[in-house]
A and B are shown apart, each in its own frame.
Chain A
Amino acid sequence: MKWLIKGATFLLIACLILAALGCADEEAKEIRVGVIGPMQFQMGEHHWMGATLAADEINAAGGIKVGDEYYKIKLVQVDSNELVSPADAATAAERAITVDRVDFLMGTIRSEGAMAVQEVAMDHQTIFMVCGSSETKMSDKVAQDYARYKYWFRVTPFNNTYLGMMNFTLVGMVAQQVVAQLHTAPKLAILAEKASWTDAIVAAAQTILPTKGIQVVSEVWRPSGQADDVTAELLAIKDSGANMIMTALSGTVGIAYGRTWGELQIPAASVGINVMAQADDFWENTNEYGNYEMTLNVYARDVELTEKTAAFMDAFIAEKGQTPTYNAGTYDALYILKEAIERADSLDQDNIVAFLEETDYIGTGGRFVFDAKHDVTWGPGYVTGVGVQWQNGELKGVWPPADGSWPTGGPSVTYAGIVAYQMPPWVIDYWT
C-alpha cells in the first residue's frame, strides 16, 4: 500500500511540474500589452476596442514573429480612472507592470493621467505609446532626458503644437468662407476650457491669427471643462460682434456649448477643437442643435485617409456600433509595435525603441513617422487629421479641401469622401 501512495505522490508531483513547465512555456510565447484608459468612459472603451481589433487580426495571422517563434498578443485591460482621479492612473500603471506583468503600455487620455503614467512606465523602462493626450510636455521630456524618456511615443492625437497649427488652418478655411459668404472681415472669439493643453493654443491664436487678417476679440472665454452651461459665455461672445468662434474644448462642456450655440443661434461660425463633437452621440446629446459644429478629428466615417481606413472603420462600427475616435489609435499603435518588434527581432525594450524610432508605417490614420521627440509627425505626406462638420446628423469630412491644397504649400492632400463646408444658415441670415 505504501509503495502505491509513494508512487501516486510521485506521479502527482511530476504532473504538477510538467503542468508548470507547460504554463511557463505558454507564457513565454505571449506578449502582454496593457491597454490603459478610463474604461467606464467612451474614451477607454475605444482604446480597448481599437487594440482588441488589432490583436485579434495579428493573432489570427499567427502573432508576432521573434526569431523562429511566434508570440500571441495578450491584451490586459487597465482602468486608469483618470477622468475621475488622475492620480489613479499612476497606480493602475504600476499595478499593470508589476502585478499583471505587461510588457508594453498604450492608451491614456487626460494630460495629467498620461504624464503620471509616463513617469511610472519610464521608471520601469517599459515602452508606453500614448493614444489620447496631446500634451507637449511629455515629448519635451524625451528631448530633455532621452535616456530616461526614450521609451515613450505618441501615436494619437498629434501634439499641441501640431493641433494648434491644424486648428489655425481650419480657422483660416472658415475665415475664407466668412469673407465669401458673409461679405465681412473675419472677427474671431476664442472659447477655450481652462486646461493646460489649451493655454499654448490660446496664446498662439492671439499672436498668429491677426497676422493672417483675422481680428481676434481681446477677451478669451475660459469655462471649466466640466461646465454644464455656457449660455452666459455665448451671449457675451455674441455681444462682442464676433462672426467666428474658435473652440478648444475636450470635456463635457463641449456638449453644453454645441447645444446652446445652435439653439440660441449665436451668429458666429464655430470651428476648432471640440472632442465631444467627435463622438456619434453628440447629435443626440445636443438634441440635434449641434448641427454645423465643426472640429478637427483623426477619423471621419466616410473619409478614406489610407487604403486601410475603410476596413478598420467598418470593423470598428460592426463591433462597437460607433465611429472610432482618436483613442482607437491603439489599433495603429499595436501594428506599429508589432512591426518594430519584428524588425528588432527581439523583445528587449531598448532594441525595440531603436526600431520604433525608425517607424514609417501606413496605418488607418495616415503615414506614421515619429519625430526626434517621439511625436507622430503631422503634415502633408504624414498624418494630417481631418476637419469634420456635423451636417444633418452625419459627421462629414470637410478638410483637407477637395482640391487638395495645403495652406503652407507642400504636396497636395486629397482624400475620398470630403464634402463642402456649410456655413450655418442663421449666421448667414444675421450678417447679410
Chain B
Amino acid sequence: MAENIIIYGLLSSGVYALLAVGFSLIFGVARIANLSHTAFYMLAAYLIYTFASALGLNLYLSIILAIITVTAVGIISYRLLIARVRQHEATTLIVTIAMAVIIQEAILKAFGGQPRGVPKLLSGSTEILGVSVLNQQLLTLGVVILMLLVTWIFLMKTKTGVAIRSTAQDREVANLMGINVSRMEMLTMAISVGLAAIAGALVAPLFVLTPGMWAHPLVMILAVVVLGGLGSLKGSLIGALVLGFAENLVVFSRPEGAYLKTSVALTVMLIVILIKPEGLFGIVFEEERG
C-alpha cells in the first residue's frame, strides 16, 4: 500500500503544484488572487476537445493552439478587467470569480452539460514498484517537473525573471530602478495563465471534462497556497505534496471514506494554519518581500 500512496501521491501533487505555482506567482508579483485561475485550466481542456475531437486537428497542434488561445484570453482579461481593479483586493476577488462563472456558463451553453473526453497522447500503463501507472500520468508528471524547472530557471537565472522577482519584492523600488512594473505584471499574468493552460492540457486526457471541473481544483489550490504560504513558490510545491499525499492516504487506507479525501486534505491544511497561521513558508516569503 505504501508504494501506491507514494506513487499516486506524487502524481496527484504534480497537477496541484503546477496550478498552485501559477496562482502563487501572480499573487506574489501583483497581489492578485485570481479565482478564475482554474477556469482557464478548464477552458484549455475544452479547447483541446474542440480542436482535436470536434474539428479533427492533430492532438499536439490542438494542445499548442489551446495554450496560446487561453494565454491570450488571460492577457486580454487582465488588461480589460483585472488591471483596472487590482488595487482593490475584494473587488479583484469578485471580478475574477465572476470571470470564472462566465467561462463556466459559456462552456455550458456551447458544449452542454454532458461529460466529454479527450484522446490521450500516450496509452497503456507501466509497472513501477509493482504499481500500475498510466503512461499518460507518467507523461503528466514528467511535464509538470519540466515546467516547474523551466519556471524556476526563468525566474532565477534570466534578466526578466529577476525583474519579476524584484517587482514581487518591492513594486515601488522596482519601478524606481527602471523596471516596467506594469509590463512585468502582465507578463506574469501570461505565465500564470499559461501554466494553468498547460495543466489543463495535461489533465484533459485523464479527467472527464464537465463545465464544473474548475471548482474542485480551485478549492485545492487555494488550500495549497494557504498551506504553503501565500505567494511562496516553494510553499506551493510543498503544500501540493502534502495535500496530494493526504488525499491518496485516505483513498488507500480508508476506502469507504474515499469521497472524504478532499475534506481530509483541507482539514490537514486547517490544522497547519491553526499552528502556523502564515502557512509553512509565509514568514520566509514576507521577509523576502521586505
Q: What residues of chain A have their CB less than 8 Å away from a CB belonging to chain B?
A: 38, 40-42, 45, 83-84, 193-194, 219-224, 226-229, 231-233, 235-236, 238-239, 252, 255-256, 259-260, 263-265, 276, 279, 281, 284-287
Q: Are B248 and A222 in contact (CB under 8 A)?
A: no
Q: Are B257 and A222 in contact (CB under 8 A)?
A: yes
How many angstroms from the CA of A252 to the CA of B216 in the assembled complex? 14
Query: Which residues of the partner chain B approach A83 to less than 8 Å between Cβ atoms?
Result: 113
Query: Which residues of the partner chain B approach A281 to less than 8 Å between Cβ atoms?
Result: 114-116
Asked if B207 CB lies within 8 Å of chain A CBs, one says yes
Q: Are A42 and B251 in contact (CB under 8 A)?
A: no
Q: List 29 A-B contacts (CB under 8 A).
A: A42-B112, A84-B113, A193-B259, A194-B258, A219-B255, A222-B255, A222-B257, A222-B258, A223-B258, A223-B259, A227-B259, A228-B213, A231-B8, A231-B137, A232-B4, A232-B251, A235-B131, A238-B132, A252-B208, A255-B208, A259-B117, A263-B134, A265-B132, A279-B114, A281-B116, A284-B53, A285-B116, A286-B117, A287-B205
Asked if B287 CB lies within 8 Å of chain A CBs, one says no
CB closest residue in chain A, given B8: A232
A255-B117, A263-B134, A264-B132 known; A84 and B212 CB under 8 Å?
yes
Q: Are B125 and A285 in contact (CB under 8 A)?
A: no
Please tell me the number of chain B residues within 8 Å of chain A, measured between CB atoms: 40
Q: Are A263 and B125 in contact (CB under 8 A)?
A: yes
Q: B125, B206, B251: which contacts A264 (Cβ < 8 A)?
A: B125
A41-B112, A252-B210 known; A233 and B125 CB under 8 Å?
no
Report the minimal beta-carbon distance from A328 to chain B, rounded to whole angstroms: 15
| Contact digits for B240-283, partner A, Cβ 8 Å, 1 yes 0 no | 00000000100110011111001000000000000000000000
Q: B53, B116, B255: which contacts A220 (Cβ < 8 A)?
A: B255
Query: Which residues of the partner chain A approach B120 to less than 8 Å between Cβ atoms?
Result: 287
Q: Are B112 and A40 in contact (CB under 8 A)?
A: yes
Q: A227, A231, A285: which contacts B117 (Cβ < 8 A)?
A: A285
Report the minimal beta-carbon distance from A142 to chain B, rounded to whole angstroms: 31
A219-B255, A236-B251, A285-B208 known; A264 and B134 CB under 8 Å?
yes
How many angstroms from the CA of A262 to the CA of B157 in the assembled complex? 44
Query: Which residues of the partner chain A approach B255 to less than 8 Å between Cβ atoms?
Result: 219-222, 233, 236
Report the minimal beta-carbon distance from B78 to chain A, rounded to whole angstroms: 28
Q: Are A229 and B108 in contact (CB under 8 A)?
A: no
Query: Which residues of the partner chain B approach A256 to less than 8 Å between Cβ atoms?
Result: 207-208
| Contact digits for B97-122, partner A, Cβ 8 Å, 1 yes 0 no | 00000000000110011111101100
Report the minimal beta-carbon distance from B131 to chain A, rounded to whole angstroms: 7
Q: Please indicate which of the listed interface residues B53, B112, B137, B205 has the most CB atoms of chain A within 10 Å of its own CB.
A: B112
Majority secondary structure of chain B interface residues (helix, strand, loop or mixed): mixed
- Taking A40-B112, A224-B262 as known contacts, 10 extra A-B pairs with beta carbons closer than 8 A to each other, sorted by chain A number, are A41-B114, A194-B259, A226-B216, A228-B208, A228-B213, A229-B12, A231-B8, A260-B134, A281-B115, A287-B205
Query: Which residues of the partner chain A approach B248 to less than 8 Å between Cβ atoms?
Result: 232
Q: B1, B8, B114: which contacts A239 (Cβ < 8 A)?
A: B1
Q: Are B125 and A265 in contact (CB under 8 A)?
A: yes
Asked if B124 CB lies within 8 Å of chain A CBs, one says yes
How many angstroms from the CA of A286 to the CA of B123 in the assembled complex? 12
How many angstroms from the CA of A222 to the CA of B258 in the assembled complex? 5
Q: Please indicate which of the listed interface residues B8, B120, B210 has the most CB atoms of chain A within 10 Å of its own CB.
A: B210
Q: What residues of chain B have their CB less than 8 Å away from a CB belonging to chain A?
A: 1, 4, 8, 12, 53, 108-109, 112-117, 119-120, 123-125, 131-132, 134, 137, 203, 205-208, 210, 212-213, 216, 248, 251-252, 255-259, 262
Query: Which residues of the partner chain A approach B262 to less than 8 Å between Cβ atoms?
Result: 224
How many angstroms from the CA of A382 to the CA of B208 in the assembled complex? 36
How many angstroms from the CA of A355 to the CA of B112 in the assembled complex? 38
Q: Are B206 and A229 in contact (CB under 8 A)?
A: yes
A219-B256, A260-B134, A265-B125 known; A40 and B207 CB under 8 Å?
no
Which 9 A/B pairs are nearest by Cβ-Cβ distance?
A285-B117, A41-B113, A194-B259, A228-B207, A232-B251, A219-B255, A224-B259, A42-B114, A40-B113
Q: B108, B116, B123: which contacts A263 (Cβ < 8 A)?
A: B123
Report the minimal beta-carbon distance from A286 to chain B, rounded to whole angstroms: 7
CB closest residue in chain A, given B131: A235
Query: Which residues of the partner chain A approach B12 to less than 8 Å between Cβ atoms?
Result: 229
CB closest residue in chain A, given B259: A194
Q: Are A276 and B1 in contact (CB under 8 A)?
A: no
How many angstroms from the CA of A255 to the CA of B213 in the assembled complex? 14
Query: Which residues of the partner chain B approach A84 to less than 8 Å between Cβ atoms?
Result: 113, 212
How many angstroms from the CA of A195 to the CA of B1 in the assembled complex? 27
Query: Which residues of the partner chain A approach B131 to less than 8 Å between Cβ atoms?
Result: 235
Q: Are B115 and A255 in contact (CB under 8 A)?
A: yes
CB closest residue in chain B, given A283: B117
Q: Please indicate which of the listed interface residues A45, A221, A224, A235 has the most CB atoms of chain B within 10 Å of its own CB.
A: A235
CB closest residue in chain B, given A83: B113
Q: Are A252 and B115 in contact (CB under 8 A)?
A: yes
CB closest residue in chain A, given B205: A287
Q: Are B212 and A285 in contact (CB under 8 A)?
A: no
Query: Which residues of the partner chain B approach A40 to less than 8 Å between Cβ atoms?
Result: 108-109, 112-113
CB closest residue in chain B, given A195: B259
Q: Are B256 and A221 in contact (CB under 8 A)?
A: yes
Q: Please indicate which of the listed interface residues A260, A263, A264, A286 has the most CB atoms of chain B within 10 Å of its own CB.
A: A263
A236-B4, A239-B1, A252-B208 known; A285 and B113 CB under 8 Å?
no
Query: Which residues of the partner chain A approach B115 to less than 8 Å between Cβ atoms?
Result: 252, 255, 276, 281, 285
Query: Which residues of the partner chain A approach B109 to less than 8 Å between Cβ atoms?
Result: 40
